[in-house]
Amino acid sequence: MRFSHVFVARPRQESEELADMLAPLGVQVVVQPAFDFRPVDCAAEQPELLAGLDAEGASRLLIFTSTRSVEFALPQLPTGLIHRCRVAAIGPATAQALQSAGIQVDVRPPAGFTSEDLLQTLNEDSPGSDSLSGSAVILAAPGGRRKMEESLESLGWSVDMLMVYRREYAALDAQELQKLNGAGSVLSVWTSGNAMQSLAQRLPSATWLTLCQGDWLVISERLARLARAYGPSGIHLAPGPGNYDLYTAVKNLI
């Protein structure tokens, strides 16, 4: 077997689901999320934006940037607002989360799941068109999706950021990380550049060295470029960000 261990740094629920999928393959799976996610009280922290959004209604495009933005935004948006606005999803998993909640998705990339894919789709439908007004609200976490905001503004959009959740450092699990002691070969799974940066700074130096001496599996060319700065032995590209995509890629690699 090429890899004896698989290190997974996804959010807790996604990591544990992936670990269950990988277990029959006979590898040791190490789960260490980089972040936990908590809701932001929009009514308390951005009351004017939330009130304005309710008043303007259908003149806005709501851009959901992740499944977490769906999870944390829907309970807080004014009643009926979501059905009056146009709705954009960054990728298929986010679109599925919205549809499962009974929300119609009006804009989504025909392929891909990145900010760039969604921006290209929006750029093809100009702000002056009948279908999109050019006024958007990005539902995200503090500090996130700034490039999307800047890119939309450069295309002539009026953009607001509604912070619906925040990241917090997840506690390091010493017992879980001990599984890497003496590990012969490790494949690390990364779906976030922020997770790379956080764990590079917070993991014990010996643990981080073990990860960098192994191979990394990433979900986009952008993450592959970020990964090169850490110097892993090899970098592989998964076909997508979902757990089935990651499972398939890991299975093919081991």
Q: What is the pLDDT of residues 86-118, one digit of tens each?
A: 899 988 889 999 999 999 998 888 876 777 778
Structural domain including 56 reads 38-166
Residues 240 and 181 reside in one and the same domain: yes
Calculate the alpha carbon distances from 179 to 15, 80, 92, 133, 204 in Å. Answer: 16, 49, 34, 53, 13
Q: Measured on CA atoms in the order 66, 166, 140, 201, is the torsion positive or negative?
A: negative
Round to whole Å and give the CA distance between 195 and 192: 5
Round to whole Å and give the CA distance between 55 and 47: 12
At residue 1, the pLDDT reads 64
User: 128 or 153: whose pLDDT is higher?
Assistant: 153
At residue 50, the pLDDT reads 80
Burial class (CB in 10 A: 0-12, 13-18, 19+), 243: buried
Residues 50 and 28 reside in one and the same domain: no
Round to whole Å and give the CA distance between 228 and 100: 37
End-to-end CA separation in angstroms for the chain: 6
User: 204 or 158: whose pLDDT is higher?
Assistant: 204
Rounded to the nearest 10 degrees, what angle do helices 12-22 and 243-253 cross at? 40
pTM beyond 0.85, yes or no:
no
Question: Kind of pairing, strands 135-140 and 158-163?
Answer: parallel
At residue 5, the pLDDT reads 96
- Estimate to the nearest angstrom the gap between the alpha carbon of 84 and the chain centroid: 26
At residue 129, the pLDDT reads 46
At residue 61, the pLDDT reads 86
Residues 136 and 211 reside in one and the same domain: no
Residues 139 and 160 reside in one and the same domain: yes
Q: What is the pLDDT of residues 44-90, one digit of tens each?
A: 888 888 877 766 655 688 999 888 999 999 998 876 788 888 899 98
Round to whole Å and give the CA distance between 138 and 221: 23
At residue 128, the pLDDT reads 46
At residue 131, the pLDDT reads 43
Q: What is the pLDDT of residues 169-217, one digit of tens each?
A: 999 999 999 999 988 899 999 999 999 999 999 999 999 999 999 999 9
Residues 156 and 184 reside in one and the same domain: no
Q: What is the pLDDT of residues 230-239, one digit of tens each?
A: 999 999 999 9
Residues 51 and 104 reside in one and the same domain: yes
Using an 8 Å Cβ cutoff, are 89 and 108 in contact? yes
Residues 57 and 147 reside in one and the same domain: yes
- Estimate to the nearest angstrom the gap between the alpha carbon of 48 and the chain centroid: 27
Residues 42 and 162 reside in one and the same domain: yes
**Count of domains for the chain:** 2
Residues 178 and 247 reside in one and the same domain: yes
> What is the average per-residue pLDDT within 233-253?
94
